Amino acid sequence: MISDVKSKWNDIIAYIDSQDFVSGPVFRTFIKPLEVYKEEGDTVILSVDKEKQNAVLGVIKNNYTSFIEVAIEEVLGKRYSVDFIYKQDITVQVDNSSDSSDRSSIIKAQYPFLSSGNSFDNFVASDNNLMAYSASLAVAESPTSQVYNPLFLYSSPGLGKTHLMHSIARHIIMNNPELKVLYVTGEDFTNQVVEAIRNNKEKDSTATANLRSKFRDVDVLLIDDIQYIIGKEATQVEFFNTFNYLSDQNKQIVISSDKPPKDMKELDNRYKSRFVSGLPIDIQPPSYETNIAILRNIQEKQSVKLEEFVLDYIAKNINDNIRDLIGAHNKMVFVVSHFKKDLTLSEVEEALSDIIVSNKSNEITVEYIVKVVADHYNISEEDIYSNKRTEYIARPRHIVMYLSGLLTDLSTTNIGKILGNKTHGTVINGRDKIRELIKTDEKLKNEIDIIIKKINPNNN
């Protein structure tokens, strides 16, 4: 007997839609397609279409189960737990995984650059990345619909752009094998263009034409870290010719970058407008709750279980880079499995001291600020100490000057000496530029807040 849950399911769905639990796109993507399979005691089992929603079941479980349980209780006046089952597994309890396994083997052989660990199913969606996740999923499920073209994802390094890019490519290859999908990093694209130009001059007059054919004879093109292309004249021209060609042919393009198009100083305005004509979406740093969800998601697949206080320490102290979060987790798994199972907090702090810098043992210095800022903007420390005036180097250098004045007791003269013998006036000028910018540039202000937390994570 399905009881009142099935008969009232439309009312329950309507209740969820009427509340502020979730946004419209999230409701349509994750909640509305659910159906009641059966009730077992105080548990309601909802069915999920494996073909349409296989990639999002983990997201539904992790993020929306409690909302569904609340809605059921509000409508029926009775508390239920919610679980899920695939529709396809209800009537046919046999192993239908061979096609999927075969396809996965093909992907691994033909697309070795796609990480097998990057899929929609293991991407932890939360407030900081939900728009990017939903848009990426929409493109992956309907790659020929032109719903968002180009899709432009941007964020600081380590926040999940590549995970989403791989997830889009993998989902399309798995579900639309007839489509030609090409994923490439900006760095690799640049290298291929340079190599083709050189070969074209030296030994193969068709090299450039072959390269163009490779990148244009596709249905979906994904370019990861486009910033490596911007400013390199020949590569940039080649990319935008390809971009225009694919766009004219109504082919799907997905791009990622470490900054929004408007902040690409060396990019022509006409291309900035092309980038934002589709759907530009930023990914914000994860919250503590998201960090915990990511760590628990990883723990589900681990035989070695970390204590809750270890996960809590990692989640609280790494709040701007998921790669560092995962790296800290993996290191603690190694420590626990090979050396000591029962750890104290001080031992955890010591084990992670190369990843998480504690305020207790590290004085804030200009040199340390340089290290953190250089890492945040993915440039070398030498670049900051240098006299290079390129915008992507000058801005971080000015931030170092601003933060050195804010977080240390040194004079501007001494700060300048440490930063490669910069003058007192240069330091003041750099510091004042950032002071003025953060008054109106909310994104820069948020970036600097994140950097300060990195420099001094225990000062909340």
Query: Cα(275)–Cα(257) distance, rounded to whole angstroms?
Result: 11
Mean pLDDT in residue range 439-447? 86
138-171, pLDDT tens digit by residue? 898 888 887 788 899 998 887 888 899 999 988 8
Stretch 355-360: mean pLDDT: 59
Q: What percent of the chain has pLDDT over 90?
A: 12
pLDDT for 435 equals 92
Q: What is the structure's pLDDT at 458?
A: 53
The H or E element that residue 254 is part of is strand 252-257
Highest-confidence segment of 93-97, 106-110, 123-127: 123-127
Mean pLDDT of 341-349: 83
Q: How confident is the model at residue 233 (pLDDT cuts 50, 70, 90)?
A: confident
Radius of gyration of the chain (CA): 25
Q: Tell me: the pLDDT tens digits for 211-226?
A: 888 888 899 999 988 8
Cβ atoms of residues 260 and 273 within 8 Å:
no
175/168 Cα distance (integer angstroms): 11
Is the distance from CB of 373 to CB of 451 less than 8 angstroms?
yes
pLDDT at 359: 40
Give the pLDDT band (50/70/90) at residue 95: very low
Q: Decide if pLDDT at 91 tops 70.
A: no
How large is the average pLDDT for residues 80-96? Answer: 62
What's the confidence (pLDDT) of residue 283? 87
Q: How far is CA 305 from CA 37, 232, 308, 309, in A?
A: 33, 47, 9, 12
Give residue 361's pLDDT band: very low, low, confident or very high (50, 70, 90). Answer: very low
116 has a pLDDT exceeding 90 = no
Q: What is each CA distance from 338 to 163, 342, 380, in whole angstroms?
A: 29, 12, 34
Q: What is the pLDDT of residues 268-304, one digit of tens each?
A: 787 788 888 888 998 888 888 888 888 888 888 778 8
Give the pLDDT of residue 360: 41
Indicate the average pLDDT of the chain. 81
Q: Give the confidence band of 370 by pLDDT, cuts at 50, 70, 90.
A: very high
Residue 185: per-residue pLDDT: 86
| pLDDT (0 to 100) of residue 21 | 62
Give the pLDDT confidence score for residue 41 in this predicted structure: 77
Could you tell me the pTM of the whole model? Answer: 0.55
* CA pair distance 88, 30, nearest whole angstrom: 18
**pLDDT given at position 92:** 36
As a dihedral over the C-alpha atoms of residue 332, residue 338, residue 339, residue 340, rounded to 10 degrees, the angle is 60
Hey, what amino acid is at 427?
A: V
- In this predicted structure, the answer to whether residue 402 has a pLDDT above a threshold of 90 is yes
Residue 93: pLDDT above 50? no
Residue 86 scores a pLDDT above 50: yes
Distance (Å, rounded) from C-alpha 262 to C-alpha 281?
Answer: 13
**Is residue 25 scored above 80 in pLDDT?**
no
Tell me what the mean pLDDT of segment 28-34 comes to.
80
Classify burial at 5, counting beta carbons within 10 Å of its beta carbon; exposed 0-12, middle 13-18, buried 19 or more.
Answer: buried
Return the pLDDT at 55.
52
φ, ψ at 184 (rounded to 5°): -150, 145
State residue 224 phi and psi, 5-degree precision.
-95, 135
Residue 366 phi/psi, 5-degree rounding, is: -60, -40
More confident residue, 167 or 93: 167
What span, in angstroms and rounded, lies between the C-alpha atoms of 311 and 184? 34
Pull the structure tokens for residue 263: 């902040």
More confident residue, 228 or 414: 414
Q: Which amino acid is at 202?
A: E
